[in-house]
Chain A
Amino acid sequence: MATTALSSFTRGVARYALVAALAAVFALFAALAPGFLSGANLLSVLVNNFALLAIVAIAMTFAVSAGGIDLSVGTAVDFASFAFVSLVLAGQPIALAALGGLAGGALVGVFNAVLIAGIGISPFLATLGTLFVGRSAQQLLTNGGNPVYLPPAGVPEAFRFLGHGTVAGIPVPLLVTALVVAGAWLVLSHTRFGRVTLAAGIQASVVRYSGLRLSRITALTYVLVSTIAAVVGLILTSTVTVYIPSSGNAFLLNAIGATFIGTTFDPHGRPNVPGTVLGVLLLGVVANGLLLSGLNFYWQQVGTGLLIFSVLAIGFANRKAAARA
Chain B
Amino acid sequence: MADTAGRGAAIVRLENIVKRFGGAEALSGASLTVERGSVHGLVGQNGAGKSTLIKLIAGLHRADEGTVEIDGKVYDRLTPHLAEELGIHFIHQDRLLVPTFTVGEALFLGRELRFPGTPFLDRAAMRRRSAEILERYFGLALPHSALIADLSAAEKQIVQITRALIASPKVLVFDEPTAALVRREADLLFQLIRRLSAEGVTILYISHYLGEIVDLCDTVTVLRNGRDVATLPVAGTSAAEIGALMVNRDIGELYPKPDVAPGEVVLEVENLALAGRFDAVSFTLRRGEVLGLTGLVGSGAKEVVRTLFGLDRPTGGTVSVKGEAVFSADPAAATDRRLALVPEDRRRDGVALDLSVTENTTLASLGRFSRGLIDRGAERRQTEDLVKRLQIKTDGVDALVKTLSGGNQQKVAIAKWLSRQSEIYLLDEPTVGVDIAAKVEIYRLIGELAERGAAVLVLSSDIEELLGVTDRLLVFFRGRVTRQFISSETSPDQVLADVTGAYETLRHAG
Contact = CB atoms under 8 A, between A and B. Distances in A.
Interface of A: 186, 190-192, 195-196, 198-199, 202-203, 205-213, 268
Given A211-B334, A212-B363, A206 B370 contact: no
Contacts of A206: 348-352, 360, 363
Nearest to B335: A211
Contact of A195 (B341, B348, B372, B374): B374
Contact of A208 (B331, B366, B373, B416): B331
What size tier do the contact residues of chain B reach? 20 to 34
Interface string B417-451: 00010000000000000000000000000000000
B349 A209 contact: yes
- Which of B331, B341, B416: most chain A Cβ within 10 A? B331
B332 interface: yes
Contact of A202 (B336, B341, B354): B354
Contacts of A212: 332, 363-364
Nearest to A187: B373
Contact of B354 (A190, A191, A268): A268
A191 B372 contact: yes
A107 B493 CA distance: 63
Contacts of A205: 348-349
A323 to B, nearest CB: 9
A211 B331 contact: yes
Contact of A207 (B330, B341, B353, B363): B363
A192 B367 contact: yes
A217 to B, nearest CB: 11
Nearest to A212: B332
Contacts of B372: 191
A246 B349 CA distance: 41
A195 B349 CA distance: 17
Contact of A210 (B363, B370, B374, B376): B363
B239 interface: no
B400 interface: yes
Contacts of A210: 331, 335, 363-364, 416
Given A190-B373, A191-B373, A202-B355, A209 B341 contact: yes
Interface in B331-385: 331-332, 334-336, 341, 343, 348-355, 359-360, 363-364, 366-367, 370, 372-374, 376
B309 to A, nearest CB: 8
Given A190-B373, A210-B364, A199 B359 contact: yes
Nearest to B373: A190
A320 B420 CA distance: 35
Contacts of A195: 359, 363, 366, 374
B352 A203 contact: yes
Contacts of A203: 348, 352-355
A279 B96 CA distance: 47
A198 B374 CA distance: 14
7 contacts: A191-B373, A192-B366, A192-B370, A195-B359, A211-B332, A211-B334, A213-B330
Nearest to B337: A211
A51 B326 CA distance: 51
Contacts of B370: 191-192
